[in-house]
Structure 1
Amino acid sequence: MGDPPQEHGRAIGHGHRALAARLDWNLIRTYLVVAEELNLSRAAARLFVTQPAVSQAIKRLQSQLGYTLIKRRGPRISLTAAGEEVFRIARSVLVDVSSLEMPARGMVDQIVGRVKLLSVSRVHSARYNQFLVDFHRRHPRVELEIEVMRGHDLLLALRQNAASFGIGLCRVATRQIERRLIIPQRYALFCGQSHRLYGEQHINIDTLLYEDLVTFTGDHLGDTLSPLTLFRENHGFQGRLAASSSNLEEVCRLIMCGYGIGFLPEDAFRREVEVGMLRRLPPEDGLADVDIHLLWNSERPMRPAEAVFRDELLAAFEQG
């Protein structure tokens, strides 16, 4: 004979409470980072621990839960169906828990919470810097995390609800993504010290038509940086693609090392021009506008700290 229904119900409830009591939330935090990175080495670097320590934490968590969360194939890992569900639940719980801290006496009106911000590299804006200063002064109990990534990955992460906001490139309307222009950005052509054009006195567009190019791996028609491609095609550039990277810093490095002429945002690399590491090339009015936007998932509910961050950032860029 089995247990009476009410006793069986109590047993199940007790089992659920036992899991909550014995579950190590440090293991959950480790798992969240692993699930975001899908790479144990990168997860270990973010957590400032060794890779074996991360592997051991995942094993312990799987043992506590009683099922497999990840599958490994060499250096690559993927989440199981159960792992995906645990990732979704744990991330939601962690966000909720971050808002539970009771405010200290006299701090009842302060905003408490966490904002995760994804950003492309080299966001050059004194106004943005000042906003961060002012925001932290007004809301010292809001934790801000900033992660730098490629523009395409940034949009994908926002669609997957992996962050509060993005600061990046979004030239055309994109499904599920709200955007507000905050930093106008103009691209121009540059060459480095070791390039043969660096010391030339008179350079015009025709001089550049057959030069080797350094560009972004995503620089193709229809992509975020397609205005650069359109300019290249409209002016009849015939130079071969000599080097490319998805990272702005690496594109700059390749240009400075003489692999070819290349496209960079003017303001972000003004210092390199001033110290002589780069030379700005024609045309004088630059190439194309590829502006930086504040981006967020239109289907993701905002928590108070996130809403305040968005509203105050947009207000800062609407002033004068």
Structure 2
Amino acid sequence: MADREEEKFVTRLDWNLLRTFVVIVEEGSFTRAAHRLLRGQPSVSLALQRLELELNCQLIERGKGSFRLTAAGSNLYDECMDIFRSVSGLKEITTAASKEISGEISIHLASHVITPLLDDLLTETRTLYPNVTFNIKTATSATVTSAVMDRHASFGICLVNRKLPDLTYDLLYREFFSFYCGPPHPLFGRKNLTMEDLRGYDIVSFDTDDLNDALRPVALLRKQWDMAQRIVGRSSQLEEVRRMIQCGLGIGSLPIHVLERDVRDGLLWRLPPYSDPPEVDIFLVRNPKKKLNRAEQFFVARLLEQIKTMPLHLRTYPFPAIPLSQG
């Protein structure tokens, strides 16, 4: 029953009366309070009377030449100041909440997109905005581009063979490719090899390793050295191309910076070219007609900021020096 009475009181109370009461106390005068509130003195006096009637107690003792808070008035003033401090913080609270970013970031990638630019940004986003979630899909570069074009993807990171006029392309980073073989292969562990030594061995390749596709530089290298041997394995996924190479199905070309650990661990052996390997550019691909959520806007903006402020040579992953055991 008491709770119902309190609810009725809160609903009935005119909160402007509390504000008027606080100003009267702060000014110590009905006349000065009226001036501050831009109201007439009778209106201010009436507001205090209405508040005292609602609370059923006297708040200010007033008379000729006297103005003094009662005990009830003093307690009410303290409570009002707490209320107003809370109210004054509402804007800051709601502004902070409006700045809090949430939502899903949907990223479409070519399978061999491996760069600290992306990895560090994932960590940064998670640290700054823990409510953000991620959905990362891998596909061929052509599929990634089609998804961006059709606005099924918010943006993509992939290789680019041909730029479409309706999309925007920003060079994110540059990588280099070289040939590799696995432990079962006859070339594994052999030193001082040349490109001629690679002829005649079966090939494992990406689906895009073609003169008319995204890995055209690699296909051109094979054509230059007349490496037209049989292709025994294909995949759009780096992990599967690497698996087939490691298992000895054939030799294949992979991004050099991605394979450093496998080479150190003896899982792969680097083959020629040891110098001037084919370079491949990786792009951030966007559709200007696609509306991004706030999380995606932040993510893309940070990528573009890195592209703008970081020179390309710092976004280029140079092939490592070849150890003596492999040169």
| Range of TM-score over shorter length | 0.5 to 0.7
Residue equivalent to 1:9? none
Residue equivalent to 1:173? 163
Whole-angstrom distance in 1 between the partners of 2:147 and 2:246: 31
2:146 to 156, 161, 171: 156
Residue equivalent to 1:124? 114
Per mean C-alpha deviation after superposition, the further-off stretch among 147-156 and 261-270 is: 147-156
1:281 aligned to 2:271? yes
Whole-angstrom distance in 2 between the partners of 1:136 and 1:304: 14
CA contact (8 A) 1:171 1:291 kept: no
Q: Which amino acid aligns with 1:294?
A: L
Deviations 1:4-44 (CA, angstroms, capped at 9, x unpaired): xxxxxxxxxxxxxxxxxxxxxxxxxxxxxxxxxxxxxxxxx
Measured after TM superposition, the shift of residue 111 of structure 1 is: 3.0
Whole-angstrom distance in 2 between the partners of 1:216 and 1:147: 17
**Structure 2 matches for 1:9-24, cutoff 5 A?**
none
Deviations 1:73-103 (CA, angstroms, capped at 9, x unpaired): xxxxxxxxxxxxxxxxxxxxxxxxxxxxxx9
Change over 3 Å in CA distance of 1:199–1:304 after alignment to 2? closer
Unaligned 5+ runs, structure 1: 1-102
Deviations 1:275-316 (CA, angstroms, capped at 9, x unpaired): 011111111125311222211123323343332221112213
Q: Secondary structure at the match of 1:184?
A: strand
Residue equivalent to 2:196? 206
Change over 3 Å in CA distance of 1:269–1:286 after alignment to 2? farther
Unaligned 5+ runs, structure 2: 1-91, 312-327
Whole-angstrom distance in 1 between the partners of 2:262 and 2:276: 17
2:310 to 304, 307, 319: 319
2:129 to 133, 139, 144: 139
Whole-angstrom distance in 2 between the partners of 1:260 and 1:194: 9
Residue equivalent to 1:224? 214
Change over 3 Å in CA distance of 1:108–1:201 after alignment to 2? closer
CA contact (8 A) 1:228 1:263 kept: yes
Percent identity, aligned pairs only? 30
Residue equivalent to 1:295? 285
Q: Which is greater in Rg? A: 2
Residue equivalent to 1:254? 244
**Structure 2 matches for 1:223-242, cutoff 5 A?**
223-242=213-232
Aligned length: 218
Deviations 1:169-202 (CA, angstroms, capped at 9, x unpaired): 1143124322211121111111111100003233
Q: Secondary structure at the match of 1:107?
A: helix
Q: Which amino acid aligns with 2:110?
A: V
RMSD, aligned CA: 2.2
Whole-angstrom distance in 1 between the partners of 2:243 and 2:272: 20
Q: Secondary structure at the match of 1:145?
A: strand
